[in-house]
Amino acid sequence: MQIERLSKTFSQAAGPVLDDVSLTIRPGDIHGIIGRSGAGKSTLVRCINLLERPSAGRVIVSGRDITALRGRALRQARRGIGMIFQHFNVLSAYTVAGNVALPFKVAGLPRAEIARRVPPLLELVGLADKADAYPSELSGGQKQRVGIARALALDPSVLLCDEATSALDPETTDQILALLRDINRKLGLTIVLITHEMEVLRDIAGRVAVLDHGRVVKEGTTFDVLAFPKSAVARSFLAGLVAHELPPQVEHQLLPEPVADSDPVLRIVFTGHAAHDPIVAELVSRFQIRPNILHGRIDYVGDRPLGVLTLVASGVGGRLPAVLSHLCSLELSVEVIGHAVRSVAARRHGAAV
């Protein structure tokens, strides 16, 4: 699916809610779109399936510009795009089977055909034993399963999920994400996951776009977005997930410029195999640095390790350029993020060296 230069303005006074958004979502991918509240995520989804007419731009689904369609052709094309929501949108007057049968009824399928097509869908989402239950008898996770089954009824090529797990507890969220990944693999279905939580995307989305004030400010593999966040918005989503930011107590001690008694503070991002290398030991033995670790952790994105380590390169002195180029040669990303005044102990040791 291609989103080409999509814009949406509701009122000239308020300005554009979507501003020249372009994205390529590859068939069979799980593609995340993350943004703060009000960033324009739901508007983007509604423009993709044309519940809302974009002010400009095109949406290409399976090679077809659906923004050019009207009436019956548009309704037909829309069937190729399934959608699930935060609040499940399950009709309380219908049973589980009745809810899943709705899209078939709307499409005018004969009753016998509907009776044949509903059970496999319930099976797929793990609700085979709940066919006759009413929504009031279901948990949130089960209601979302009904939503998923209903969205898949007409064999869409794309499933749009707008905050589909936001109303669920963490364990149920994981179960629903596992179900989506399962469906993605089994059916080869393209999934667009819209969320304000990076946790939701970390393990299942191959690519992520960061939306801010209606613009795409970053797009790339989930790993790269997590490992190398460039914008403040991208960073803000990673708090708690990846240790890019220092705890405030430590941050306060950093100086922007070196002073007589300071050492540089390095932030090293370890990716892939380097995450397992004894980098710190090497800094000690090759460069006679006494690293003082301020902050760090290793996380996993999918199955790739991603480590962020912030350390004071005590005693590095004039060897700093050599240290930086050595770390770069190991394909680590390294950055001097400030300077720390040497502690009394380090000063004493520095004098000895």
Q: Which residues contact 125 (CB under 8 A, 6 or more apart)?
A: 145, 146, 148, 149, 179
Q: Which is nearer to Mg ion, 44 or 346 (CB)?
A: 44
- What are the residues facing 18 on neighbouring strands? 8
State the distance between the two ends of the chain, measured CA to CA, in whole angstroms: 61
* In the complex, least distance from residue 196 CB atom to ligand ATP, rounded to whole angstroms: 5
Binding status of residue 27 toward ligand ATP by CB under 6 A: no
Nearer to Mg ion, 46 or 244 (CB): 46
Under the binding rule (CB under 6 A), the answer on residue 244 touching ligand ATP is no
**DSSP class of 71:** H
Q: Which residue's Cβ lies closest to Mg ion?
A: 42
Tokens of 60: 């290409």
| Binding to ligand ATP in span 187-206, by CB under 6 A | 196
Using rule CB under 6 A, residue 15 touches ligand ATP: no
Q: Among residues 77 and 194, whose Cβ is nearest to ligand ATP? A: 194
> Does residue 37 belong to the site contacting ligand ATP (CB under 6 A)?
yes
Calculate the alpha carbon distances from 144 to 84, 105, 129 in Å: 8, 20, 16
- Of 199 and 299, the one with the shorter C-beta distance to Mg ion is 199
> In terms of Cα–Cα distance, which of 230, 240, 187 is closest to 210?
230
> Is the CB of residue 91 less than 8 Å from the CB of residue 102?
yes
**Residues in contact with ligand ATP, total (CB under 6 A)?**
11
Tell how far CA 3 is from the center of its chain: 18
With tokens 């669920």, the residue in question is: 168
**Min dist. Cβ of residue 201 to ligand ATP (A):** 14
- Contacts (CB under 6 A) with ligand ATP, residues 38-77: 38-43
Residues making contact with ligand ATP (CB under 6 A): 10, 17, 35, 37-43, 196
